[in-house]
Amino acid sequence: MSEPVTLASTDAVRQPVTSNEPFQVRPIGGHVSAEVRGVTLAADLDDAIIAEINAALLRHKVLFFRDQSHLDDAAQEAFAERFGETVAHPTVPSKESTSRLLELDSKHGTRANSWHTDVTFVDAYPKISILRGVVIPPVGGDTVWANTATAYSTLPQPLRELADGLWALHSNSYDYAATRNTPSVDDESERAYRKQFTSTLYETEHPVVRVHPETGERTLVLGRANGLKTHLLVASNVRTGVYFAVPAGLRDQRREGPQGQARRYFSGHQSSTRRG
C-alpha cells in the first residue's frame, strides 16, 4: 500500500491555464526548495512527468508551482492521488464536498506560527503535504520550511549518535495559547478549533531519526510545534516513561539557518508540495 498524502486548501474563483514552457526544476534555497516550471498540475499527467516531480521532491524536499489557477478542490485531490493514497486529518473534518481536503483559514484558528511536521501524532504520518494558496493576505502569510536531513547531517557527531538512539512521544495535546506572546483577536474561533483538534487524543512513539524509505537519508522528526507536544524518551528503555528536555543542539538544528530553510510568500493560485 502506498504511503498517505495530506492536502490543504482554501476556496476561490479559478480560471483554466495552460503551460507552454518546457518542464524545468529551478533550485531556490541552498539546501531546500525548488520551483517547477512548464507543468500544469492535473491527475492525467504522464507517468514520466509524475516521476520527474517525485524525483525533484526527493532531492529538494519542497517544490513550488506557480500559476495553477485551474485547480479546484476536486482537481487538487485527484492530482494528489497520483502520489499515493490520500488521507483525511484524524480529528478535524474535511472541507465540505471533499473527501480528504483540510481547509486552512486563519480566521478559524488554523494558522500556525511554529515548526512542525504534519500529523506526527499518528503512527503512519503522511509522506507528502500539498498546500494550495488561493486567498492570501496582502501582507504576511508567508510559509517557511526547513530541511531536516541537512539538520541531521550537520549535527556534531556526538549529537548524531545521541539522536540515533532516541525515541519521542508525539501527541496532539498542545496548547497554542500558552506559547503566544500576544492575545489573538480570534480567541473564540481558536478555542473552538483546538477543541476539535483534540477531540480524540493521540500519543505515538517515533524514532527521533527517521530513515527515508526511498532515499535512505536520515532526518530529524521533532515535534513541539503546531498542535504537537513531544517528549524525548530514554533511549535504553523507551517504555520507562522517563523524560528529559530536548538537547539544545537538536532543538536549534531544526532552524539551522537560511541555507537550510525555504521561505515563500504565496500569491494567489500557487501550490507547494512538501515531502515529509
**pLDDT tens per residue across span 240-256:** 333 333 444 454 544 44
Top pLDDT among 60 and 266 is at 60
109: alpha, beta or left, given left = phi > 0 and alpha = psi -120 to 50?
A: left
Statement: residue 45 has pLDDT above 70: yes
Statement: residue 11 has pLDDT above 50: no
- Taking residues 43-47, what's their average pLDDT? 96
Highest mean pLDDT among 93-102, 169-178, 245-254: 93-102
pTM higher than 0.85, yes or no?
no
Q: Which of 24-33, 71-80, 158-167, 240-249 has the lowest mean pLDDT?
A: 240-249
pLDDT band at 226, cuts 50/70/90? very low
